[in-house]
Homo-oligomer: A and B are copies of this chain.
Amino acid sequence: MARLKSPSRHALVDSALKLFWKQGYRAVSMGDLVRETGVSRGSIYSDFSGKEALFHACLDRYQEKVVTPAFSVVEEKDAGLRAIRHYLENLLARSEAHRGPDSGCLVLNTLAQVTNEDAETMARLRAHGDRLQTGIHQALARENKKLQRLEDCEVEDLARFTLISIQGLWSQSRGTKDTAALRQYCDTLLDLLATRLGLAGG
């Protein structure tokens, strides 16, 4: 009943996450994981019941290691439209740091491969979507409180619109290295949000 020590376990999940993120669940073999993570087969199976459980751990780790640092600015108690702008600019900076196209979003990549029967995975994907939707919605609602141009349901619609737009951004970021286009897209999106909320553009 050997169990990996915590630091080793984190390093394992981090390396596995990187592989799953770039190549997708099915394309990564156990042999790849052993080679890239430097952790032996025995140790992997002593901590995870199998490949799928390890993948789920990676999805969870992705939340705390990637999503939270990027999105927490929107989730803060006083976040408004400015926070959404900061979030998007962080995404752009991250994308521009790569030379080629990046790996996009692990959650959206997974969504494109998973079948509806895989409930465990689907639940995590849905939780991610709900998290973003809620965060954006609250930030927009807070911003709307100032001028009160929109009804509550209109704010919710606008939040959903923003969420889908960001999904398009992620999808595009995996296909192209044209960061100027991504930046222009963010500008247009932010301009739309400002207009709807009754703020001056820019």
Question: Measuring CB to CB, which residues of chain A are less than 8 angstroms from any residue of chain B?
Answer: 22-24, 26-27, 100-101, 104, 108-109, 111-113, 115-116, 125-126, 129, 157-158, 160-161, 163-172, 174-176, 181, 184-185, 188, 192, 195
Copies of this chain per assembly: 2
- Please determine whether A171 and B111 come into contact, CB atoms closer than 8 angstroms: yes
Residues A113 and B116 in contact in the complex (CB < 8 Å), given A167-B172, A184-B157, A184-B160: no
Set of chain B residues within 8 Å of A112, measured between Cβ atoms: 24, 104, 108-109, 111-113, 171, 174
- B168, A164: Cβ atoms closer than 8 Å: yes
B175 and A161 contacting across the interface, CB-CB below 8 Å:
no
The secondary-structure label for the interface of chain A is helix
Q: Report B-chain residues with C-beta under 8 Å of the C-beta of A195.
A: 195
With a CB–CB cut-off of 8 A, which chain B residues contact A23?
115
20 more A-B residue pairs beyond the given contacts A26-B26, A108-B112, A164-B172, with a C-beta to C-beta distance below 8 A: A24-B112, A24-B113, A26-B113, A100-B116, A108-B171, A109-B112, A111-B112, A129-B176, A157-B188, A161-B188, A163-B172, A164-B168, A164-B185, A165-B165, A165-B168, A167-B167, A167-B168, A167-B171, A168-B171, A170-B171
Closest to A174 in B: B111
Contacts of A27 in B (CB 8 A): 26, 113, 115
- 7 inter-chain pairs at a CB distance below 8 angstroms, sorted by A residue, are A23-B115, A24-B112, A108-B112, A111-B171, A129-B176, A158-B188, A192-B192
